[in-house]
Structure 1
Amino acid sequence: MTQTLLSFGHGYSAQALGRLLLPRDWRVIGTTRSEDRTAAFENAGIEAHIWPGADMRPALDAATHLLISTAPDAVGDPVLAELRDEIAKRAGQFAWVGYLSTTGVYGDHQGGWVDENTPLTPATKRGIARMKAEAAWSAIDGLPLHIFRLAGIYGPGRGPFAKVRNGTARRIIKQGQVFSRTHVADIARVLDASIQQPNAGAIYNVCDNDPAPPEDVIAYAAELLGMPIPEAEDFATADMTPMARSFYAESKKVSNDRIKSELGVDLLYPDYRSGLNALFAAETSGE
Structure 2
Amino acid sequence: MNWKSWMLPGAIFIASGCKIQYQTEKIEYRAESRDIREGKRLTMLVCGSCHYNFETKDFSGKKLEDSPGIIGKIYSANITRDPEHGAGKYSPGELAYLIRTGISRTGRLMPYMHRPNMANQDLDAIIAYLKSDDPAVQPSARKAGKTKYTPIGRLGLSMVKAGEYRDSSIQKPKSDAVLLGKYLVDNLACYHCHSKSFASLDALDPAKSKGFMGGGNKLRDASRKKIRTPNLTPHATGIQDWTEAEFRRAITEGVAKDNSVISYPMPLFPELTEEESAAIYVYLKTIPPIKNKVKR
Answer yes or no: same fold by TM over 0.5.
no
Q: TM-score if structure 2 supplies the norm length?
A: 0.28
Question: Which has more strand, going by share of residues?
Answer: 1
